[in-house]
Amino acid sequence: MKLSSQELLYYQSKVAYYRDEQSYKRLFLYFHPILYRFSYNILQDKSISEEIVSDTMLKIWEMGSKLSQIQFLKIYLITSVKNACFTYLASKKHKQSLSESIDNDDVQMCNGENPEQLYIYSEVTQRVNKVIASLPLKCQLVFRLIKEEGLSYKEVSKVLEISQNTIETHMRIALRKIRLDLKHFLHK
């Protein structure tokens, strides 16, 4: 479901001033996948990511009229999820266990596609995911927010509280590492 910025503001206002459940549901359904992917990329834990996103979305319901004061809701929500994830990672309860998992959901079996092409696509996707997973956390976050979530450099700067020059550096590092890895992979 794609919503324009005007629609987002409309639903945000209806939730803020009228506590409109349908508008809240639309906001929830729109932001949930974005926030969940972002949280999962940081935590690598489905249940904790789901819990953090649900808690964050519940907080916007509970804000009441204060919700109308938020100028950029998407940036606000991503920043809230980021902070909740980092708080979780810093908590004593959390025992960090990094397990590498490759997401093959992107490979869709289409009737007309060549199996060899699907295999190559799958292999390249796995390689890229491995390289991204091996990047430092900030570099990963910058890459994923820009390439997977479609945020601008300026929006990422606000979310991660780093300069645009730093973001450009992280993107150069990520793209260089991906390019080098694929170059070695394709020339084996």
Q: Which residues contact 155 (CB under 8 A, 6 or more apart)?
A: 72, 74, 75, 145
pLDDT tens series, the chain, 188 aa: 788 889 999 999 999 999 999 999 999 999 999 999 999 988 888 999 999 999 999 999 999 999 999 999 999 999 999 989 888 887 744 343 333 333 334 444 444 456 766 766 777 778 888 888 899 989 999 998 988 888 899 999 998 999 999 999 999 999 999 888 887 766 65
Domain residue ranges in the chain: 5-90, 115-186
Q: How high is the pLDDT of residue 96?
A: 37
Contacts 24+ apart (CB under 8 A), 73-79: 73/8, 73/12, 73/27, 73/31, 74/8, 74/31, 74/34, 74/151, 74/155, 75/155, 75/158, 75/159, 77/31, 77/35, 78/34, 78/35, 78/38, 78/145, 78/149, 78/151, 78/159, 79/158, 79/159
Class in CATH terms, 5-90: mainly alpha
- Compute the radius of gyration of the chain from its Cα atoms: 19
pTM across the whole model: 0.64
Q: Which fold has domain 115-186?
A: Arc Repressor Mutant, subunit A (1.10.10)
